[in-house]
Each structure stands twice: as structure tokens, then as C-alpha cells.
Chain A
Amino acid sequence: MQVMLAALVDELRSAGIEVSVGEHIDAARALSRISLRDPDVVRAALQCALVKRAEHLATFNLLFELYTAGRSQPGAELVRAMTDRELRDTLRAVIGSDDAHVLRLLADEYVRRFGGLEPGRAVAGVFAAIAVNEAADLTGIRAELLADSAGLPGADGQGGQGGQGSGGSGWSASGSLRGRLDEADADRAIAGFRADLQAAVRRALVADRGARAVRATMRVGLVEDVDIVSASAAELEAMVAAIGPLAQRLTHVLAQLAMHRKRRLSVRGTLHRAMGTGGVPFRLATEPARPPRPEIVVLCDMSGSVSAFSRFTLDLLVALDSRLSRLRVFSFVDGLAEITSLVREARAAGRRLGPGEAARGAIRHGGSSDYGFVMREFASQHAHQLTRRSVVLVVGDARTNYLDPAEAAFAEIHQRAGQVYWLNPEPRRYWNEGDSVIGRYAPWCAQVRECRTLRQITGFVQSLAAGPVAASSAGQADRVLAGGRP
């Protein structure tokens, strides 16, 4: 057990979760005070000692599963002896319930029977997962669950809806509400078992190849390091959830930076204070702090390839609205539209801006971006409002579909604004290849940054809002994300 713990701690650290030696010791002590038979108890004991942030729990759970897979479960023989038919009936009876242990056993058995995973044979886990999902006939079970709760005779008669199942009396007189609830219930049950099956496939793979080998093929990273453009739906959701606390942390760090900024000595104030001490200046007074509050103008590429990233940047900027006193947002594809008020409204209502909404008015002809037109349009329509305190931020991949990039217009924008930054969500190695013209805009930018993860966006926003004093603040972002104090 202690060896397993050491390996797990190693993995947590390499995934970016900081585990101190003290916490490692706590976990070891915790293990000596509990029964090791129930995996849920072991998991809870290790988690409470090792992981101190809610965002890191998912990563911990995944790694914990990998490192504890392969222990035989009590009851496995029983399930093994069932016929396929019995297996399905049992599944239908317990699916959606809180009986995690039985569900885990069933999932393991399904994978053993139908997964097609043979020891030593290289087969991708994805195929096994598909095969098992097929075999478990989840669509059929869902239909039966619905039929059951609607009070109609299901395909399979009154399959045991154990104790607290949804087969109660008096529910058949249902309105649309009842139907909606049943649907949600069935969906929840199916989704839950699907996750169980996936975990079972992982366990089977671990049993075959060992935890380290499986770990190497999986993406086990923290939310802040996930590539936004290629993130899965679940990862995106986690990221959206991370934005709020992130913005708060950033605000705090920025406030600290502002506090520690050097202030000018106020002679008048110092003399005034000295009156109280008979003219001897005991305490110095300084001029009140004036934090730099740049006006930020964001140009977001909303074309398909990078819109996910653009929306993220937007979300974070808007969350920081109070620090960035004036924020104007434009979206573009092959046209340009100001969406500042839209973004504000969405923010006030507490929802995210939809992709269609954000791109509204930004499309003239088709869905492919035309940077040249956008730059010319912005230069002629809006550039006169820029001042030396304006910061122009372009978010996009600078892929202009071989159209004229109109650098002259961009140069004009640069001339009017205080600073121009470019965030490119494409990997740096693809820059200036094909129709990417980032190199032709670069000479007019104060910085061109590769920006693919939350961590990178945070680093950038921070350096921006903190102003020139915090030039070295790129490293700060890491600390903010790691949860450390500045």
C-alpha cells in the first residue's frame, strides 16, 4: 500500500498537483487508521490528505483508479456465473441507483465478456469501449426504463425496479412534467453506467499493461493546461467553471501588485503630518496610488477554427471587467461588428455568450476570415477613437485565406494605439505556413504570443492589467494557477 501511495503521489506531482511531504505523511497515517477493504474509504482517506482543491479532484480520481485497479472485488465470481440474460436483467435493476459497488462489478463483467481485450494483444481502449457499449444495449435499457415509469408494460414485463426505483404507484397520471423527470432520470442512469464502463475498460487495460503504460496513453492534465481549441466538451465545461475563481485570484494578485507599487513622496502631506509632532517628520506621506487603467479594445476572430479560444479570452476579460475599466469588444470573420453591449448583457445575466450571437454581424459573405478587410474597416471606422492609453488586443490565427492582409491599415492602428498585442491560438510551429500571415503583422505588435491554454491566457491578462511595472509577471501566472500566494 505504501508503495502504491508513493507512486500515486509521484503521478499527482507530475500532473501538476503540488503534494507536500507533510501531506504525503498524512496520507500514510490515514491509511493506517482505516479499513483497506473498501476502495471508496481508501479513496476518501487519500483524497482528503493529498488534494486540497476541488478542481483537482477529477484528476486525482482518475489516477487513483489507475493505481488501484486490478484488486479483485468481492462478488466477482457471482457475476461471472450469470448468463448474458441475467447480467442484463441485473443491470436494468440497479442502473441509476447509488449501488456503486454492484455497478462496478457489472461494468467489469461486461468488459470481460464483450470488450475483446486479450492479454498481451495491442488493442485500443476506444474500440473496447465501443464494443462494450454496444453489448450493454444501453439504448434498449433506456427505452425500457422510460416505458416502465410511464406505467406501460415494458418489453420485458415488470423487471425488478428495486426499492427506490422509479416504478411507484400513482405516477401514471402524469403530465408532461412527469415525463420530463423520467427522461432525465433515465439519461442520468445511462450516462452514469457509461462512465462506469469506461472506467472498467481502463481497469482492464491496467490489469494487462500496468498503470504506467496506460497513464502514458491518457491525457491526465490539469484544466489550466488543456489545449482549448481541441478540448472535449467536458473539459470545456470545467474550464468555464474555472474562470470565475481564476478571475478572483487574478484580481487579488493585481490589487497586491498595485499596493506594492512605488508611490511618490508627498511633501505637502508629510509636512502636514509633521505638525502633530512639533515639525519633526516622523511619518512620511505619499501621493495617492493611481493604478493604470488601460482602455482595452479586443478584436476577436470568431471564425470556426479559433472561436472556442476567442470566447474564452472574452469570458476572462469580461470577468475582469472591473479592473480593466474600459473594455470594448469587436468580433470579426470577414466583417467587423462591435459586441461590447452584448457581452455585458450576457455577463449581467450570468450566462455565456453563444457562438452564433458573438459572430452576428461579423459575417459578410461566408464563414472564412478576411483579416485585410477587417483591419481596413477598423482603421477607418474606429481608429480615431484610440488614444495612447488604448491597448489593442487581436485574438486570432492570422489565416487570411490568401487575401490581402492590409498591413498598412494595421500599421495605422498601431500608430494610434498605445500598444498592440496579438494572441495566436495556433501552435507556434504552424505560424507563417500556408495562409498564415502572422509574421507580416508582427512588426507592429508589442508582443505576439502563442496562447493555447488557460494558463497562458491568465499570464497574458495579468501582464496586461498590471501594466509596465509587472513586466516580469509572466511567472506570476503560474503561481496564481498553482494557488500559491504571490
Chain B
Amino acid sequence: MLAGLRGAGYLADTKVGTIVHLAAELGKPVLVEGPAGTGKTQLAKSVALAAGRRLIRLQCYEGLDESKAIYEWDYRRQLLHLQLQQGAGTGSLTAAGIFGEEFLLSRPLLAAIRSEDPVVLLLDEVDRLDIESEALLLEVLSEYQVSIPELGTVTARHIPQVFLTSNNSRDLSEALKRRCLFLHLGYPSVDREAEIVRLHVPDLAGHLAREIAELVALLRRADLKKPPSIAESLDWARTLLTLGATELTDDMTRQTLSVLLKYERDIDTALTELRI
């Protein structure tokens, strides 16, 4: 599992590996929580890539409803169908056969359930959903089925591997949490982050990768409004590479710190913290 993820560009530790493995074994969704930019979404993408499965993604937002998340009837086609039938003069609506599968527009959740081949389903930023629409997910997540009143119940052919990500901007309901395995992704250790930098920016000098990781780790412990994420360390590594840096000098750091930190005040704090 770890090797597979590594091949897909994701360095997982024992914890992540175990939980992803269990999720597949037990057929349970994984709720991934943690600060922004720690690779929550990337985990799902890499799992899909490593397993050679299709990734179906649903970006959650406030006001997401059934017709956007699960399914919708294709009104226009239904209407056209009815008009065609009018000439034939059939009696009732059900007989007209406008509630067949061919009139159903699959949205991500139904698409994942109906898929012919196994897929990875990613529900990104579930914490943005309002509490009422969270309930939409429950049936899909626990039974892997969707009930459509006109058609009956559609059950999954293959249990999809589901990942939910959350920035913990609000508390998810207990009902949702109970159905999931919980994975908290924090910032990686210095060694692991150095390795991540090396994996993604292979042309960078090896010792520089380690220095970047050390400096970023130091900054994360400082009192910052927005601590640098892994994505930002990678951006910084690429910046240094572009500038042809071979060493992390005071000047170089001072000039490129804005890649890492996005607030004026944070940059000031960082400069004092680093004493440069």
C-alpha cells in the first residue's frame, strides 16, 4: 500500500497506510481532517491513481442539494418524450415510461454507485455543507445505495472507496462521523517533509530540501496567522530551484519568504523568529 502510494507521488506514513488499508478492507469511508494544505485531497487522488481507479469528485459548498449531489430527472427529455407519445395516445404517465434510467442524470454520488468499475469517491470539504444537507450523504455512505422513489433502490455494484475531507471549520454531525474512519493529517515531521520535497522537486540539491523542511517546521511553531502548508513548502522549493540557489542564505530567504507566507505580519514575525 505504501509503495503504491509512493508511486503515485504520495509519501504516506504507517498511520495513513493502515487507515487507508482498513477502509478498503472494512468498506468504510475515511474522514480526513487537518489544517489546510496537508495533502488531504491529494491522498484521495493518489489512492485512485495507485489503484488505477477512476476518481469521482464532489466539491461541497453551502446550499448543495440533492439534484447537484445525487441525481436529477432530465426534464427536457421527459417532456420531449411525452410530446412524441402524445400522437400515440397512451393513457397514464407511468405507462408513458418517462421515469426510466435513460431519463436520469447521474450526479457524483449516484455516478459512483452506478459505476461499472470500482471507483474512488472524493467528497471535498464536507464541512462547508450545511447540517441539513449532510444527511443527504448518510444513505450513500453507510449502505452504498441510493433510493429513487420512482425507480426503487440502486445498489452499488462495487463498493466505492470514499474519502471525505474537512478543514474542521464546523463540527460534522455525530451520525456522519460514526459511519467513517477518522484520519487526522497534521504537518509531517522534518524528515518526512524533506523526503516529500525531494520526491516532488527532484532536481533540488538534497541538503537544501532538508533545510527547507527545517525552516518550515520552525515557522510552523511560531505564532503565525497562517502557518505554511506542505504545498507552500513545495512552491518555495521550486522557487529556490528556479533561482538556482545552492544554499539557503539570509538574503535568499528574506527575498523569497513571501512564497511561503501570505500575510505581511507573518513575514515580519518570521524574520524576527529567524533572526535575519
**C-alpha gap A349/B274 in the complex (Å):** 20
Question: Is the beta-carbon distance between A177 and B25 smaller than 8 angstroms?
Answer: no
CB-CB under 8 A from A169, the residues of chain B are 207
Interface membership of B262, Cβ < 8 A: no
**Contact A164-B173, Cβ < 8 Å, known A33-B22, A48-B183, A173-B247:** no
Question: Is the beta-carbon distance between B178 and A44 smaller than 8 angstroms?
Answer: no
**C-alpha gap A48/B177 in the complex (Å):** 11
CB-CB under 8 A from A54, the residues of chain B are 33-34, 168, 184
CB interface residues, B 172-190, toward A, < 8 Å: 173-174, 177-178, 180-184, 189-190
- In the complex formed, the residue of B with least CB distance to A171 is B207
**C-alpha gap A249/B127 in the complex (Å):** 12
CB-CB under 8 A from B34, the residues of chain A are 54
CB-CB under 8 A from B177, the residues of chain A are 52
CB interface residues, A 332-357, toward B, < 8 Å: 349-351
Query: Hey, what's the 0/1 contact readout for B117-149 against A, CB within 8 Å counting as 1?
Result: 000000000000001000000000000000000
Interchain nearest-CB distance for A193 vs B (Å):
14
**Contact A249-B171, Cβ < 8 Å, known A51-B182, A175-B276:** yes
Interface membership of B200, Cβ < 8 A: no
Interface membership of A415, Cβ < 8 A: no
Interface membership of A180, Cβ < 8 A: yes
Interface membership of B81, Cβ < 8 A: no
CB-CB under 8 A from A173, the residues of chain B are 247
**C-alpha gap A97/B192 in the complex (Å):** 10
**Contact A166-B210, Cβ < 8 Å, known A180-B218, A245-B171:** yes
Query: Hey, what's the 0/1 contact readout for B23-36 against A, CB within 8 Å counting as 1?
Result: 00110101101100
Question: Is the beta-carbon distance between B190 and A185 smaller than 8 angstroms?
Answer: yes
CB interface residues, A 156-189, toward B, < 8 Å: 164, 166, 168-171, 173, 175-178, 180-181, 184-185, 188
CB-CB under 8 A from A20, the residues of chain B are 178
B15 partner, pick from A30, A44, A181, beta carbons under 8 A: A44
Question: Is the beta-carbon distance between B171 and A34 smaller than 8 angstroms?
Answer: no
Question: Is the beta-carbon distance between A181 and B211 smaller than 8 angstroms?
Answer: yes
- In the complex formed, the residue of B with least CB distance to A31 is B22
A176 partner, pick from B26, B183, B275, beta carbons under 8 A: B275
CB interface residues, A 91-121, toward B, < 8 Å: 97-98
CB-CB under 8 A from B249, the residues of chain A are 175, 177
**C-alpha gap A393/B33 in the complex (Å):** 37
Chain B: residues with Cβ within 8 Å of the partner, total of: 52
**C-alpha gap A424/B2 in the complex (Å):** 53
**C-alpha gap A98/B194 in the complex (Å):** 12
Interface membership of B215, Cβ < 8 A: yes
Interchain nearest-CB distance for A18 vs B (Å):
8
**Contact A164-B22, Cβ < 8 Å, known A22-B178, A40-B14, A248-B169:** no
CB-CB under 8 A from A18, the residues of chain B are 174
Question: Is the beta-carbon distance between A164 and B194 smaller than 8 angstroms?
Answer: yes
Interface membership of B245, Cβ < 8 A: no
**C-alpha gap A158/B43 in the complex (Å):** 40
A170 partner, pick from B190, B207, B218, beta carbons under 8 A: B207
Question: Is the beta-carbon distance between B22 and A38 smaller than 8 angstroms?
Answer: no
**C-alpha gap A26/B184 in the complex (Å):** 18
Question: Is the beta-carbon distance between B26 and A26 smaller than 8 angstroms?
Answer: yes
Query: Hey, what's the 0/1 contact readout for A40-51 against B, CB within 8 Å counting as 1?
Result: 110111011101
CB-CB under 8 A from A389, the residues of chain B are none
Interchain nearest-CB distance for A153 vs B (Å):
20
Q: List 12 A-B contacts (CB under 8 A).
A: A26-B181, A44-B14, A48-B22, A49-B181, A49-B182, A54-B184, A168-B207, A171-B207, A173-B247, A175-B249, A177-B215, A177-B253
Nearest first, the 5 closest Cβ-Cβ pairs linking A and B are A44-B18, A48-B181, A52-B177, A44-B15, A350-B225
Chain B residues within CB distance 8 Å of chain A: 14-15, 18-19, 21-22, 25-26, 28, 30-31, 33-34, 131, 168-171, 173-174, 177-178, 180-184, 189-192, 194, 206-207, 210-211, 214-215, 217-218, 223, 225, 246-250, 253, 265, 274-276
Q: Could you list 20 further interchain pairs (A-B, Cβ under 8 angstroms) beyond the known A34-B22, A185-B214?
A: A20-B178, A26-B26, A34-B18, A44-B15, A44-B18, A45-B18, A47-B182, A52-B178, A98-B192, A164-B191, A168-B207, A168-B210, A170-B246, A177-B215, A180-B274, A180-B275, A181-B214, A188-B190, A248-B169, A248-B170
